[in-house]
Structure formats: C-alpha cells, structure tokens
Amino acid sequence: MIKTQKNGIMPTGVFTPARTTRRVIPGRIAAMVATLLLLASFFGCVSRPAEPKRYERVFLDVFDTVTTVILYDTGERSAGERFDQLHALLLEYHRLYDIYNAYDGLNNLYTVNQNAGKSPVAVDERILGLIDYAKEMDVLTDGRMNIAMGGVLDLWLQYREAGLNDPGSAALPPMAELEAANAHSKPGSIVVDRAAGTLSITDAQTQIDVGAIGKGYAAQKATEAMEQSGVTSMLLSIGGNVCSIGTRPDGTPWQVGIQDPYSDGNLCVVQVSGRSVVTSGTYERFYTVDGKRYHHIIDPETLLPSTYYDSITVISDDSALADALTTGLFCLPLTQGQALVASLDGVEALWVLPDGTQAQSNGFSAYLVP
C-alpha cells in the first residue's frame, strides 16, 4: 500500500558556501606564506575543506509510504554511507512496528497482537519506548489518539479496502460491529513491563494499531541517531512526516510545503531548522460510500471518521509528539484543540476546517514563508 506523499520538501535553491575570513599578516611573513601556499597548491599539497553538496535518496520499502532524504555532505561516498545507515535504521523500526507481517527471529507488534490474551512477549526496547510514549499521548489527547483501537480501525480498513476494490458495493462497517470491537479498546489492556522487557495485551480481543504514531516516533529516533553520528544538515520526510537537522549549509532554514487538502498545490510553506512538521488530512486515505467520503482518522467518540477538519499540521521539535497530535487533534473540537496546543511549549498547529477556513495557533505564523 503506497500512500501519496503529503508535505513536500521544497527545492533547496542556490547553495551559497560560507565565506572564508581574511587575516592581515605583516609584510614579509605574508609574502613567504603566500609563496609557500602557491607552491603547495601547485603541487597539490593543500586540500581545501570540501564544500558540502546536496544529495538526495528515496526509500520505498519503509512504513508503506515514500521516504525522501536530503543530506548535505562533503562527498558522494560519505553521503552514501549516511543514507545506508539511515535506511537500515528505518527498516529496523519498520519491522518492529509492523502489525501486518511477521519476520523470522523477530518479535514485533504483529507477534504481540497474535499473543493477545495469551502471554507477554519479550520485545526490543524500541517497542516498549513507542508503547509507553503512545500511552502518554493517549492521556494528553484525552483518549482521542488511542493505539488500543486496533479492532475498530481494522474494521474500517477492511471495509475501505473492499470498497476501493469494488466501489459498486462499498459499504460502511455496521455500527453494532464497531461498538462490539470498541468494547476492547482500553489502553489499560496493553501492559509494558520494563523490568521483564515484555509487552502484553491482557484482553484477547484488543489489538494494537500504531498507524497514528509509529512513523513519527521512528522518524524522530532515526533523526536523533543521524545527528549523534555527526550529520549537521538533513531533511527527512517519511510520507510527509518531516524531520530536520540544522539548516541548509548557507544557514537558511529548510522549507516544507504544506499540502492543500483541496488541490495538488501547497496551502502554505513553512520554514524550520531542527524541527518537525507533520500533516494529517482527510484526502490521504479514504473511500466513497453513496457519494460520501469516509477517511482514515476515526473519532473514538463516534467510531466514525472525524468530521471536524480536512487537515491539521503540527510543528514541534519532536516528530513523535507532532504525529500523535495531528491524529488526536483531528478528533478534538477546535477550542479544546487550541487549548491543548497552547498548553504545550514550542508546539504550533494549523487547522483547516471543512468549509476551507483556517485556524492557527498563536506562534504558527512565525514559521510561515512570506
């Protein structure tokens, strides 16, 4: 399932190398140094530090979406190594957080779902970290972003896929089935045991779905790992879940286009340095029943696709938070969502309402490219 890309990475424009500063050295010494430099450079002994160049790579095999990476590096070989390092890391996260496939020798979220109501599963620390964080986000969003809703979300997924395959007989999941599944959507049924290194689902009918947060959490961790290994200028977009390291080499911020929910163009362009930009929209994954669109973000209150907005963008220095919030905010009325965003340091949001009007948090406009 390849999704369309949301937020676009903007063309990086002209690369301007940093200027070297000139030193004043008194007469004769300067002349000697100049002669030496001339000779040295003539014989190829002086190697000037290479200017960083722009490299780009696309991965199609992680998180069922298109991943684009832009990296400024001094050479093709070292850029290639960075890309390979990032790709390997993202593949690891993809496999760990995959709820649809098993992998040889790996206990992932699929394994955990398979063991619901049976036994705790020993899992990688990165799974425990994600689940702990998702539970925090559940509380923060007042239950609107709930990873224990796997049963309800799976019903919607099955009906959506059937409806896309055969639009003539597209139907909605019956409310009775949704309600029955929702009786098993309690986050408390998912138990993280840090000491034992296990994850368990105590209710046999509860299923985990990390579609709302897995990509953002992985993007954040992978970006931090790249930064720790010395990358100073990078832009990563996992299906529009955008993370940045530093600025472009000329010191200008990265520019990220926010998808217009009603056209192929941009709604606006924001600029960020070291921050994340995440957008969720009703236009991403949907199907049509009796001429009406039903999208992929399900309001836990109604068990139906949320109807408050057509798109939400969140800017934050943490991509996991931004990802969880886009989904959670989608299911919160505007005044409540605005209060939540205002309560969070360094978090800004843009809401597009179904009539096309927009609302912004107080500091959002500071990120807009005029």
Binding site for ligand ADP (CB under 6 A): 144-147, 149, 153, 209, 211-212, 280, 284, 296-298, 300, 323, 326-327, 331
Nearer to Mg ion, 151 or 211 (CB): 211
Nearer to Mg ion, 6 or 248 (CB): 6
Cα 31 → chain centroid: 55
Are residues 258 and 350 in contact, defined by beta-carbon separation less than 8 angstroms?
A: yes
**223 binding Mg ion? (CB under 5 A):** no
Residue 211 interaction partner, one of ligand ADP, Mg ion, none, beta carbon < 5-8 Å per kind: ligand ADP
Amino acid letter for position 17: P
Nearer to ligand ADP, 146 or 244 (CB): 146
Q: 10 Å Cβ neighbour count for 283?
A: 16
With residues binned 3-state (H G I as helix, E B as strand, rest as coil), the percentages for the chain, rounded to 5, are 35, 25, 40
Task: Give backbone dihedrals phi and psi of 41, rounded to 5 degrees, phi first.
Answer: -70, -30
Q: How far is the CB of 105 from ligand ADP (least distance, A)?
A: 26
Q: How far is the CB of 192 from Mg ion (least distance, A)?
A: 20
**276 binding Mg ion? (CB under 5 A):** no
Q: How far is the CB of 213 from ligand ADP (least distance, A)?
A: 7
State which of residues 326, 332, 348, 352 lies at the interface with Mg ion (CB under 5 A): 326
Residues with Cβ within 8 Å of residue 328, at least 6 apart in sequence: 137, 140, 141, 142, 144, 145, 212, 340
171's tokens: 């139907």
**121 binding Mg ion? (CB under 5 A):** no
Residues with Cβ within 8 Å of residue 335, at least 6 apart in sequence: none
Nearer to ligand ADP, 149 or 172 (CB): 149
Q: How far is the CB of 366 from ligand ADP (least distance, A)?
A: 24
Residue 200 β-bridge partners: 191
Closest-CB residue for ligand ADP?
211
Are residues 254 and 272 in contact, defined by beta-carbon separation less than 8 angstroms?
A: yes
Residue 146 interaction partner, one of ligand ADP, Mg ion, none, beta carbon < 5-8 Å per kind: ligand ADP
Q: How far is the CB of 38 from ligand ADP (least distance, A)?
A: 57
Residue 245 interaction partner, one of Mg ion, ligand ADP, none, beta carbon < 5-8 Å per kind: none
State which of residues 9, 71, 96, 212 lies at the interface with Mg ion (CB under 5 A): 212
Q: How far is the CB of 365 from ligand ADP (least distance, A)?
A: 24
Q: How far is the CB of 327 from ligand ADP (least distance, A)?
A: 4
- In the chain the first and final C-alpha atoms are separated, in Å, by 36
Backbone region of residue 220 per phi and psi (left: phi > 0; alpha: psi in -120 to 50; beta: other values): alpha
Residues, the chain, total?
A: 370
**297 binding Mg ion? (CB under 5 A):** no
- Among 291, 295, 302, smallest CA distance to 280 is for 295
Residue 331 interaction partner, one of Mg ion, ligand ADP, none, beta carbon < 5-8 Å per kind: ligand ADP
In this structure, what is the dihedral angle of CA atoms 287, 297, 213, 100, given to the nearest 10 degrees? -40
| Binding region for Mg ion (CB under 5 A) out of 46-54, 66-74, 255-263, 316-324 | 316-324
| Binding region for Mg ion (CB under 5 A) out of 18-26, 134-142, 207-215, 289-297 | 207-215
State which of residues 73, 284, 310, 323 lies at the interface with Mg ion (CB under 5 A): 323
| Binding region for Mg ion (CB under 5 A) out of 90-98, 265-273, 308-316, 318-326 | 318-326
Dihedral sign, Cα of residue 299, residue 304, residue 310, residue 311: positive
Amino acid letter for position 201: I
Element (H, E) at 245: strand 241-245
Q: How far is the CB of 323 from Mg ion (least distance, A)?
A: 4
d(CA 347, CA 342): 8
- Which residues form the interface with Mg ion (CB under 5 A)? 212, 323, 326-327
